[in-house]
Amino acid sequence: MIVTVASGKGGTGKTTVATNLALVSPEAQYIDCDVEEPNGHLFLKPEIERELEVDLPIPRIDTEKCTACGDCAKACEFNALALVGKKVMAFPDLCHGCGACVFICPEKAISESSKIIGRIETGKAPALGGSELEFAHGVSKIGNPLTPPIIKRVKKLARDGRFVIMDSPPGTSCPMVQTLLGSDYCLFVTEPTPFGLNDLELAVGVARQLEIPCGIVINRADSGDERIHRYCERERIPVLLEIPFDRDLAFAYSKGEAAVMMNSEMAVKFKELYQRIFEEVGR
Amino acid sequence: MKIAISVTRPGDEATLEMRFGRCPYFAVYDSESENFDWYENEGIKAASGAGTGAAQALLDRGVEAVISGQFGPKAVQVLEAGGVKMFLAPANLPINEVIAKWRAGELKEYQIQRF
């Protein structure tokens, strides 16, 4: 089973929820898809066993064969190729590696070379009660503007029979959609503020388009107001967990300590969350 | 000679739009006939590469000079390779004044920055 933890708004507690859930769930595999700034490892403290590079195919043009017909530039959805006079210019920064130019070129003048855009690290981390969880994250290279290929690659590490938790990037753009695709369930972490609700509504819209059932975790639930509850009632979205603001938890967080490892009450809450997710998916 | 100007809207009310790649419209002015053609900028809808897309479209239309408020680095590469001259004009300047300034040689040519 694959559960994505997403939010819409940044800073609501995605990683807090995803890591704590991973620590209490049996057979858990945690995959950090927030490849621009992965931070799950700060709390899970995995031992990295394997590292591999992620590359992206980019076009290489054989100027001997190229007749400057311009078909490749027209085919490129991302404007990564331009026909200037008798020469095709390539902009690797804009390339999404779709391969349309290679396919369309009548002269077979375009081949694919590759560019390293990031890396993936995998390993194991200690979980609650002395067990172990599987860990993986993607890390985008600094300056790389295109993260979905790294997310796609790190998601492939999800193993059958595991309770897979994908930690999503914030927002509702391509990286978040790429993370959520193929999930059995989506857990949205939000906060009871106008910003929290605004971005939650956008994120729920994405889950609904992808036809993925979702539930809500309200973080800092005792701050703000009742707007999230009213929204969830109206939209018939279950609230699976509410986490009140707690100074001790915030302090532990600042030191990279997971809530369930230091607070038994939180461990119970997250075990209940695990159960609730199973019930919801079984519906 | 054809000169493209990034503008906010088509027609007499057009004013200069600061952004090259993501301007809503291009005015293409023919300096001999003194006529304008108006094109919607397809680049504005692009998920990426608005600048290279807009530059490509202008090259395809045989434009030899462009006037805008600012040019992105990739658009500059395409325009430069295509031999298109780039000029800068202030935002919101009415289209007729843009042309008048260009004719008078009062517009500053864009300086390509190399790193």
pLDDT at A93: 85
Instruction: Give yes or no for a contact between A108 and A30, defined as CB atoms under 8 angstroms apart.
Output: no
Whether residues A91 and B43 touch (CB distance < 8 A) is answered with: no
What is the arithmetic mean of pLDDT over B31-44? 92
A68 and A147 housed in the same domain = no
Find all residues with CB under 8 Å of B1, minimum gap 6, and list them.
B30, B31, B32, B64, B65
Closest Cβ opposite residue B82 in set A76, A85, A94: A85
Residues A79 and A207 in one domain: no
CA distance A83 to chain B (A): 7
Give pLDDT tens digits for A134-187. Answer: 999 999 999 898 899 999 999 999 999 999 999 999 999 999 999 999 999 999
Q: Are residues A99 and A221 in the same domain?
A: no
SS3 at position B94: strand
CATH of the domain at A94: 3.30.70.20
In angstroms, the CA B47 to CA A61 distance is: 24
Range of the domain at A167: 2-54+117-282
Residues in B touching A89 (Cβ below 8 Å): 77-78, 81
Q: Are residues A129 and A13 in the same domain?
A: yes
- B74, A91: Cβ pair inside 8 Å? yes
Dist CA B25 CA B54 (whole Å): 10
Is A83 touching B (CB cutoff 8 A)?
A: yes
β-pair partners for A55: A116
Report the predicted TM-score, pTM, of the whole model to 2 decimal places: 0.81
My answer on whether A99 and A193 are in the same domain is: no
Among chain A residues, CA nearest to B55? A82
Give start and end residues of each alpha helix (H) in B13-111: 50-60, 73-81, 95-103
Of A77, A79, A89, the CB nearest to B81: A89
Please check whether residues A80 and A44 belong to one and the same domain. Answer: no
CATH of the structural domain B2-109, one choice from 1.10.3720.10, 3.20.20.70, 3.30.70.260, 3.30.420.130: 3.30.420.130
Question: Could you tell me if B89 and B71 are in contact, meaning their C-beta atoms sit under 8 angstroms apart?
Answer: no
Say whether both A172 and A36 belong to one domain. Answer: yes
| Assembly ipTM | 0.85
Considering only CA atoms, which of A193, A247, A187, A249 is closest in space to residue A221?
Answer: A193
Interchain CB contacts (distance < 8 Å): A and B = 47
Taking CA–CA distances from B77, the nearest residue in chain A reads A89
Domain count, chain A: 2
Query: Which tens digits make up the pLDDT trace of B62-76?
Result: 999 999 999 999 999
Q: How confident is the model at residue A224 (pLDDT cuts 50, 70, 90)?
A: confident
Residue A96 has pLDDT above 90, yes or no: no
Tell me what the pLDDT averaged over chain B comes to: 93
Q: Taking the domains of chain B in order of start, what are their residue ranges?
A: 2-109
Q: Are residues A104 and A149 in the same domain?
A: no
- Are A126 and A153 found together in one domain? yes
Helices (H), chain B: 50-60, 73-81, 95-103
- Beta strands (DSSP E) in A127-264 are 132-140, 163-167, 185-190, 214-219, 239-243
* CB–CB contact A77 B53 (8 Å): no
- Other Cβ atoms closer than 10 A to A101: 24
Beta bridge partners of B25: B7, B40
Distance CA B15, CA A85 (A): 30
Question: Where residue A196 falls among pLDDT bands split at 50, 70, 90?
Answer: very high
Structure-token pair, residue B56: 């490509």
| pLDDT at position B30 over 90 | yes
**Average pLDDT over all residues of chain A:** 95
Q: Are strands B35-40 and A81-84 parallel, antiparallel or unpaired?
A: unpaired
Phi, psi dihedral angles at B49 (to 5 degrees): 70, 35
d(CA A204, CA A176): 12
**Helical pair A227-235 and A194-209, crossing angle rounded to 10 deg:** 20
Q: Which of A78, A84, A85 sits opposite B47 (nearest CB)?
A: A78
Q: Are residues A145 and A248 both part of a single domain? A: yes
- Asked if residue A221 and residue A200 are part of one domain, the reply reads yes
Mark whether A142 and A183 lie in a shared domain. Answer: yes
What local confidence, expressed as pLDDT, does residue B40 receive?
A: 95
Q: Which residues of A touch B78 (CB under 8 A)?
A: 82, 84, 89
As a whole-number percent, the residues of chain B with pLDDT over 90 amount to 88
Mapped onto helix, strand or coil, the DSSP state of residue A200 is helix
- Paired sense of beta strands B65-68 and B85-88, if any: parallel
For the residues A97-119, what does the mean pLDDT come to? 94
A147 CB neighbours in chain B (<8 A) are none
Phi/psi for A235 (5° steps) reads: -95, 0
Note whether A162 and A133 are within 8 A (CB).
no
Q: Give CA–CA dist B104/B92, Å, rounded.
A: 19
Give the confidence band of B46 by pLDDT, cuts at 50, 70, 90: confident
- A75–chain B Cβ distance below 8 A for any pair: no
Whether pLDDT at B95 is above 90: yes
Residues of chain B contacting A83 with CB distance shorter than 8 Å: 56, 59
With an 8 Å Cβ cutoff, is A63 touching chain B?
no
| A253 and chain B in contact, CB less than 8 A | no
- Confidence category of residue B115, pLDDT binned at 50, 70, 90: low
Q: Spell out which residues of chain A touch residue B62, defining contact as CB-CB under 8 Å.
A: none
